[in-house]
Amino acid sequence: MTLTDVPNTDATSGPGRPAAEVPHMKWWGWGVEGVGFHHEDKPAFAPFVLQAVGLDLGTATKAEAPSFDGLDVAPSVATPELLDALRAAVGDGNVATDDLDRVVHAYGKSLRDLVRIRANAIERTPDVVVYPADEAEVGAVVRAAVEADAVLIPFGGGSNIAGSLEALPGETRPVVSLDVGRLRRVLDLDEDSGLARIQAGALGPDLEAQLNERGWTIGHFPDSFTHSTLGGWIATRSSGMQSDKYGDIAQIVRGLRVVRAGGVVDIPAIPSASTGPSVREMIVGSEGRLGVITEATVQVHRRPEQRRINAYFFPDWAAGLAAMRAISESDAALSVTRVSDARETGFSLATSKESHGLSKFLSGTALPTIMKSKGWDLERICLSFIGFEGGAEHVKRQKRLVDAIVKQHGGMGVGTGPGVLYDQKKFDTPYLRDFLLDHGAAGDVSETAAPWSKLAGVYDGVVAAAEAAYERIGTKGWVMCHLSHSYHSGACLYFTFAFVFGDDPIGEYDVVKGAIQQAFIDHGGTISHHHGVGLEHSPWLEEDISSEGVALMRSLFTAADPGGNFNPGKILG
Amino acid sequence: MTLTDVPNTDATSGPGRPAAEVPHMKWWGWGVEGVGFHHEDKPAFAPFVLQAVGLDLGTATKAEAPSFDGLDVAPSVATPELLDALRAAVGDGNVATDDLDRVVHAYGKSLRDLVRIRANAIERTPDVVVYPADEAEVGAVVRAAVEADAVLIPFGGGSNIAGSLEALPGETRPVVSLDVGRLRRVLDLDEDSGLARIQAGALGPDLEAQLNERGWTIGHFPDSFTHSTLGGWIATRSSGMQSDKYGDIAQIVRGLRVVRAGGVVDIPAIPSASTGPSVREMIVGSEGRLGVITEATVQVHRRPEQRRINAYFFPDWAAGLAAMRAISESDAALSVTRVSDARETGFSLATSKESHGLSKFLSGTALPTIMKSKGWDLERICLSFIGFEGGAEHVKRQKRLVDAIVKQHGGMGVGTGPGVLYDQKKFDTPYLRDFLLDHGAAGDVSETAAPWSKLAGVYDGVVAAAEAAYERIGTKGWVMCHLSHSYHSGACLYFTFAFVFGDDPIGEYDVVKGAIQQAFIDHGGTISHHHGVGLEHSPWLEEDISSEGVALMRSLFTAADPGGNFNPGKILG
């Protein structure tokens, strides 16, 4: 994958940027204008796609970039009274009712969202977008929305793929999208405690730059990092690439401020407390249903002395899984534990540039010869990345421990070369989805977590379910997987799937996605490890946390928001 | 401290023990009959107590052991219909209405509880105690209680010191104490995932023995370990002595089953999930208000190859705190980080036997001479215990890292001798409280957690507040402290206080305890790190998690239990 440009959020601009400067992704796709995936320098890519999903990039027609002028945008139903109240709350210039702003805030970036927006099929456009400058303005917006019995949907970077950002199709009340993009500052850094107070609307690169300047890092790097916000990470229980070391966002966030109609929930940043059911853990993952997160106090760490990502190969998936489990049980304490199945390993090789990275390793004869001499089947090999961080001696010792475990499981190390490349391009994968969509193929991701003892069963079950689904819709499809995070008692499996769609892209997508989600449940996994529930996964929630578990959650939502003004319908259908 | 006998819960008895064999602590105090603190072999103890609180053990009258026959126990108000339904649920032999059983279940073991029960002042005795044998019977009890509009209070080991186990004084409905003591088995051990399914009523030594037999440990060792249950740990957000390594109970528990009137909440043991607000974290700390926890799936670990606790001395409290913070920021990853202030260090020396442990170190001339040569003031020295666990090489490396940090902070190591002793007697401290009470002195504990930057302020504030409180009630009092758990962003400070009481032990206790709790809040700490809220700490909850935070919690409780049948009044007043 190559990017024609590297998007770079401006971290140096001062606090309180105007609404007009809040960055947004393309209204019709991932990332920023002018940046996209292309494969001209990756000769293995087109043959790979042909083999994987039967799409011939040589002959396929590329769709035109969608035209905004052709979109049918329903008129805003915001009442003049509501608009007046919102303007009084945030100032005239920070209330937007123009079509582009409304469309940008209509959806997240799931495959379903991209297909609908490209097909001129926006089901419910928000009526007004507001850009408050601080917590007091958020409070005024919240009160105005509840007063008017409007629906309020908080919006961060807009990268959500679980349907958490859209109004319900039949919503008759005015819909207000509250964009937190102006709240982007690191407010305070407590260097004695490793705690930073950060506003909820700070995008990943923006907050990380502000921390890096002072020698610190949050250590949270989800795939969406470039285009997602702290508030969004918290609202969806996000997880990052280095969460093995730094924790998922639920561990990273300690203090929280959440604006509700009655006032501000203010959870102090205590390292651990015994104060009843955790209100902090009610807010984390709440997707806007309990109020608007305005800031969080998060754990930050001094940037490590050393940081490296090494690549390893295993003869097969079972060996890779077993090695990751052994590593998690060891004293190693790593930052990244990742292993791809054979299909994803093939994909990684195919998307490497000819002269760089993985291809270099396997295009010669040396490495394949060694692998064959070990009796490996090159169609079954699995690529793994392991991340090491800390003091020089710590990293050296981690590396020694991991090398020994890899060897015990029949694997081999190939150094840091591929890891450097992985590190550079890790945030670019979502661009590929738009490229495929341009050429008639649908692709998306779906991830789960399960105990170690169930992972192999989940994996086999999902692959079988996806293949059966492809057969059902009569297409050639692809599914690949990597283990992306390890815990003491289990791991996350992250699946990517793609297929050439026919007349009904969303209907066909539903068959495949639904089959994968059901396989998660049937084989002992959860419906989501870090993407949230939204509308996309709520049909399976009862099968995951039980109907009485859902009943408890519904009790909370209903009693805390009796008018159903806060992002109604999400998480619980 | 010496125990005349070591209590040993019988771990070998089979599943489904009868109600009559469920062990209980003394109705009037901590632990088992025939075990207590004595100081005959600790010559420094009596002078220490005289100096600390002005109590002369040589002349003080020892109270007689309270007589059960003299207790006024209000008659049970359980209706015949309720009793019939409960007998139908669990069998005749597992429904108790005798006075002793009811009194045993009336209170936990806080100072307030002990004083009231010794003073024949039980405010509301439960009307009936039931001992279900399994989850189905728990369900039948729950339904019978709700049907009869009774109050249901789950009871584990009865060690709670936050008032979580008592019915409200004015409760007019029948009160059912549901003792989970028969649910004591490790049901399943998933050795691939490091997960064990354990019934909620298993006492610490019982579940640990069942795990140890197979080479595993839960790694959870609260001070109450001998007399507390897994369900109680979960219901109160317990923390253990080795939580730095194994996590607090909120991290250890992954899956949960909770019986409610409508059915069973069944949260699967997923290592990490993005399924909305965490229902698991709503149950943890819920103190019976959301239902009855019947089992949990918890993280377990293979017993470490090596385990050792080393003792260190620091010249003063500030140096000890700074060293603990530096250790927490290092790559060391320890199992125990503990440092006592000068007062508690003096207490530890005074409670050592003449010929063993710490006295040996300081009774000679060698160590004091070294300390004095370093310019240390022996009145200010602080004793620290650091725990190391893991493979031999890991432990060696941890030890090397810690030794260097201790040295940087002016401390010195004194080997493993005191640590071995600490390890042996760590669960015995609560017996001391009964001993003091026998001699006219009140003592209890109160603990908080705060960011590293606020710890010194919390400490100073609490000591000043306690001293002012002693002055207010006109007594000579004592307060001492240790840092008991370290986290990335802060630590737990654990205070112990004692004073000779006058005419109104509880009123005087309230002045001291209240001053300490208020100081926690005023200086940036939480009202409890691991003892729970109950009735004891609820007056400060709004100042801790904000009134909107309390409002969210109240929404959950009210909607989930509209009849207020589940342990009403706890956590939220």
Q: What is the pLDDT of residues B111-129, one digit of tens each?
A: 999 999 999 999 999 999 9
Give the C-alpha distances (Å, rounded to integers) separating B491 from A284, B235, B335, B344, B367.
23, 22, 14, 17, 29
- The answer to whether A522 and B235 are in contact (CB under 8 A) is no
Mutate to test the interface with B, among A307, A548, A571 (most CBs of B within 10 A): A548
Query: Is 70 exceeded by the pLDDT of residue A10?
Result: no
What percentage of residues in chain B have a pLDDT greater than 70?
94
**Distance from C-alpha of A308 to C-alpha of A306, rounded to nearest angstrom:** 7
> Mean pLDDT throughout B143-158?
98
Catalytic: which of B107, B131, B470, B494?
Answer: B494
Q: Do B193 and A452 touch (CB under 8 A)?
A: yes
Catalytic: which of A107, A459, A494, A509?
Answer: A494
> Mean pLDDT throughout A507-518?
98
Q: Do B277 and A275 touch (CB under 8 A)?
A: no
Q: Do B282 and A284 touch (CB under 8 A)?
A: no
**Distance from C-alpha of A344 to C-alpha of B401, rounded to nearest angstrom:** 40
Question: Distance from A44 to chain B by nearest Cα, in Å?
Answer: 36
A292 is in an annotated binding site: yes
A409 is in an annotated binding site: no
Which single residue is written with the structure tokens 């799931």? Answer: A110
Question: Distance from A200 to chain B by nearest Cα, in Å?
Answer: 18
B-chain CB neighbours of A283 within 8 Å are 277
Query: Is 60 exceeded by the pLDDT of residue A499?
Result: yes
Question: Distance from B405 to chain A by nearest Cα, in Å?
Answer: 14
User: B192 Cβ partners below 8 Å, 6+ apart?
Assistant: A325, A451, A452, A453
- The answer to whether A141 and A151 are in contact (CB under 8 A) is no
Kindly tell me the burial class for residue A316, based on how many C-beta atoms sit within 10 Å of its own C-beta (0-12, 13-18, 19 or more).
middle
Q: Do B277 and A302 touch (CB under 8 A)?
A: no
B-chain CB neighbours of A545 within 8 Å are 265-268, 275, 279
> Mean pLDDT throughout A305-321?
96
> Mean pLDDT throughout B173-194?
98
pLDDT at B494: 98
Q: Do B267 and A489 touch (CB under 8 A)?
A: no
Q: Which of A338-342, A358-362, B393-397 ranks highest by mean pLDDT?
A: A338-342
A571 is in an annotated binding site: no
Query: Is 80 exceeded by the pLDDT of residue A94?
Result: yes
Q: Do B279 and A195 touch (CB under 8 A)?
A: no
The pLDDT-based confidence of B3 (bands split at 50, 70, 90) is very low
| Beta-bridge partner residues of A481 | A495
Closest by Cα among A339, A324, A333 to A395: A333
Question: Distance from A347 to chain B by nearest Cα, in Å?
Answer: 27
**Out of A254, A276, A555, closest to residue B533 by CB:** A276
The pLDDT-based confidence of A350 (bands split at 50, 70, 90) is confident
Q: Do A552 and B287 touch (CB under 8 A)?
A: no
- The answer to whether A125 and A74 are in contact (CB under 8 A) is yes
| Residue A333: alpha-carbon gap to chain centroid | 24
- What pLDDT digit, counting tens, does each position of A197-244 carry? 999 999 999 999 999 999 999 999 999 999 999 999 999 999 999 999
Q: Helical H runs in B334-451?
A: 342-350, 357-363, 366-373, 392-408, 417-425, 429-438
Chains A & B: contacts with CB separation below 8 Å: 310
A-chain CB neighbours of B196 within 8 Å are none
- What pLDDT digit, counting tens, does each position of B289-316 carry? 999 999 999 999 999 999 999 999 999 9
**Annotation: binding site of B for substrate:** 433
Q: Do B329 and A302 touch (CB under 8 A)?
A: yes
Instruction: For the beta carbon of residue A19, count every other beta carbon within 10 angstroms.
Output: 20
- What pLDDT digit, counting tens, does each position of B315-339 carry? 999 999 999 999 999 888 899 999 9
Backbone angles phi, psi at B217, to 5 degrees: -145, 150
Q: Do B282 and A287 touch (CB under 8 A)?
A: no
Q: Is the dihedral of CA A39, A41, A42, A47 positive or negative?
A: positive
Mutate to test the interface with B, among A190, A218, A266, A275 (most CBs of B within 10 A): A275
Amino acid, single-letter form, for residue A24: H
pLDDT at B5: 33
Q: Average model confidence (pLDDT) for chain A?
A: 93
Backbone angles phi, psi at B172, to 5 degrees: -95, -15
**Distance from C-alpha of A515 to C-alpha of B304, rounded to nearest angstrom:** 42
E-assigned strand segments in B46-202: 95-96, 128-130, 151-155, 175-179, 186-190, 195-199
Amino acid, single-letter form, for residue A179: D
B-chain CB neighbours of A488 within 8 Å are 194, 271, 299, 301
Backbone angles phi, psi at A268, to 5 degrees: -70, 155
User: B400 Cβ partners below 8 Å, 6+ apart?
Assistant: none
A397 is in an annotated binding site: no
Q: Do A556 and B556 touch (CB under 8 A)?
A: yes
**Distance from C-alpha of B202 to C-alpha of B226, rounded to nearest angstrom:** 11
pLDDT at B95: 98
- What pLDDT digit, counting tens, does each position of B338-364 carry? 999 999 999 988 887 655 556 566 666
Q: On the CB side of B384, how many CA atoms lie within 13 Å of its CA?
A: 34
Q: Do A277 and B282 touch (CB under 8 A)?
A: yes
The pLDDT-based confidence of A364 (bands split at 50, 70, 90) is low
**Distance from C-alpha of A237 to C-alpha of A231, rounded to nearest angstrom:** 10
Q: Do A277 and B527 touch (CB under 8 A)?
A: no
Closest by Cα among B147, B135, B30, B140 to B95: B140
Query: Is 70 exceeded by the pLDDT of residue B261?
Result: yes
Query: Is 90 exceeded by the pLDDT of residue B539?
Result: yes
Closest chain B residue by Cα to residue A164: B276
Question: Distance from B255 to chain A by nearest Cα, in Å?
Answer: 10
| Beta-bridge partner residues of A313 | A383, A412
Report the largest interatomic distance among the alpha carbons of chain B, rounded to a whole angstrom: 76
Mutate to test the interface with A, among B138, B272, B286 (most CBs of A within 10 A): B272
**Distance from C-alpha of B160 to C-alpha of B570, rounded to nearest angstrom:** 12
**Distance from C-alpha of A513 to C-alpha of A319, rounded to nearest angstrom:** 28
- What pLDDT digit, counting tens, does each position of A200-213 carry? 999 999 999 999 99
Lookup: tokens for B434? 């009964």
> What ipTM is given for this predicted complex?
0.95
Query: Is 70 exceeded by the pLDDT of residue A102?
Result: yes
pTM for the whole thing?
0.95
> Mean pLDDT throughout B523-546?
98
Closest chain A residue by Cα to residue B297: A489
Question: Distance from B510 to chain A by nearest Cα, in Å?
Answer: 20
User: B364 Cβ partners below 8 Å, 6+ apart?
Assistant: none
Closest chain A residue by Cα to residue B491: A271
Question: Distance from A235 to chain B by nearest Cα, in Å?
Answer: 8
Q: Is the dihedral of CA B231, B234, B239, B242 positive or negative?
A: positive
> Mean pLDDT throughout B131-142?
98
Query: Is 50 exceeded by the pLDDT of residue B403?
Result: yes
Amino acid, single-letter form, for residue B481: C
- What pLDDT digit, counting tens, does each position of B60-70 carry? 999 888 899 99
Query: Is 60 exceeded by the pLDDT of residue A169?
Result: yes
A238 is in an annotated binding site: yes
Question: Distance from A42 to chain B by nearest Cα, in Å?
Answer: 35
pLDDT at A7: 35
Query: Is 70 exceeded by the pLDDT of residue B218?
Result: yes
- The answer to whether A176 and A127 are in contact (CB under 8 A) is yes
| E strand or H helix that includes residue A357 | helix A357-363
**Out of A190, A264, A552, closest to residue B279 by CB:** A552
Query: Is 80 exceeded by the pLDDT of residue B204?
Result: yes
**Distance from C-alpha of B153 to C-alpha of A184, rounded to nearest angstrom:** 47
pLDDT at B318: 98
Closest chain B residue by Cα to residue A545: B267
**Out of B266, B290, B528, closest to residue A274 by CB:** B528
Q: Do A331 and B528 touch (CB under 8 A)?
A: no
Q: Do B329 and A194 touch (CB under 8 A)?
A: yes
A416 is in an annotated binding site: no
Which single residue is written with the structure tokens 């249950």? Answer: B229
**Distance from C-alpha of B320 to C-alpha of B493, rounded to nearest angstrom:** 13
Buried b (16+ CB within 10 A) or exposed e, B309-331: bbbbbbbbbebbbbbbbbbbbbb
Q: On the CB side of A13, how many CA atoms lie within 13 Å of its CA?
A: 15
**Out of A282, A454, A528, closest to residue B552 by CB:** A282
Q: Average model confidence (pLDDT) for chain B?
A: 93
3-state SS class at A62:
coil
pLDDT at B38: 87
3-state SS class at A38:
strand
**Out of B263, B531, B537, closest to residue A547 by CB:** B263
Query: Is 80 exceeded by the pLDDT of residue A355?
Result: no
Mutate to test the interface with A, among B142, B195, B274 (most CBs of A within 10 A): B274
pLDDT at B424: 66
* A494 is known as an active-site residue: yes
Instruction: For the beta carbon of residue A392, count every other beta carbon within 10 angstroms.
Output: 10
pLDDT at A432: 92
Query: Is 90 exceeded by the pLDDT of residue B182?
Result: yes
**What is the set of domains in chain A, with CATH numbers?**
19-44+58-179 (3.30.43.10), 186-302 (3.30.465.10), 306-425 (3.40.462.40), 430-536 (3.30.300.330)
A291 is in an annotated binding site: yes
